[in-house]
Amino acid sequence: MLKVVIADDEDLIRAGLRIIIDAEPDLSVVGEAADGAEVVPVVRRELPDVVLMDVRMPALDGIQATRRLLELPQPPKVLVVTTFENDDHVYDALLAGASGFLLKRTRPDDLVKAVRLIAAGDSLLFPAAIRTLAARRRPAARVPGIDRLTGREGDVLRLMTRGLSNGEIAAELVVSPETVKTHVGNVLAKLSARDRTQAVIAAYESGFVSPG
């Protein structure tokens, strides 16, 4: 059973998400928070696998709440659920460590698939949307580890920013999927990235890849 916590300041949104999640035999909502400041104690108590996180909340927004959650000894995966995809808050939440985002108008089936995907350790990557958000910003700074990537690892990272799967990257580079999996693991390790989304964000933030 995968445990989920919902953090959103709108009662109706929380109620709707709970109905969708609790309808699945392998998912269970174990807690709710109406503000980012409330979500940390709920997560400490319930130890969920995934937190569905709104980014715009009054006292403490989802960006700061995500940072606090990832500092916990047993951090959950964070999936941002937002109204607008072209929102700088979404990019900041991804930069803070969220594994992906979905729109609040997402179909229920896609929502539960995303929760399972995030819980399994994968990332929910929308390359075009992230590229659009990254294009509005200047590269922030040198990202530790980016200069330690080998030439082939750099190639893999560039293809990851396009949203290619391991199989698609293998076909593009004419190598085996196992080789790509090794390269992806090396990229994540060198960039201290939790998942592919974090690696892609690091590529844009460092200027290693231009969103243009």
What are the structure tokens assigned to 179, written together?
């080789």
Residue type at 212 in one-letter notation:
G
- pLDDT number for residue 171: 96
Specify the pLDDT at position 174: 95
Pick the more confident residue, 26 or 86: 26
- In this prediction, residue 16 carries a pLDDT of 95
204, 162 contact by CB (below 8 A): no
Of the listed ranges 21-30, 59-68, 89-98, the one predicted with least confidence: 89-98
Tokens 């350790």 belong to 121
Crossing angle of helices 166-173 and 177-191, in 10° steps, is 110
pLDDT of residue 33: 96
Q: Which residue has the higher pLDDT, 86 or 162?
A: 162
Which tokens go with 80? 């941002």
Q: In the chain, what is the straight-line distance between the N-terminal and C-terminal CA atoms, in Å?
A: 42
Higher pLDDT: 57 or 33? It is 33
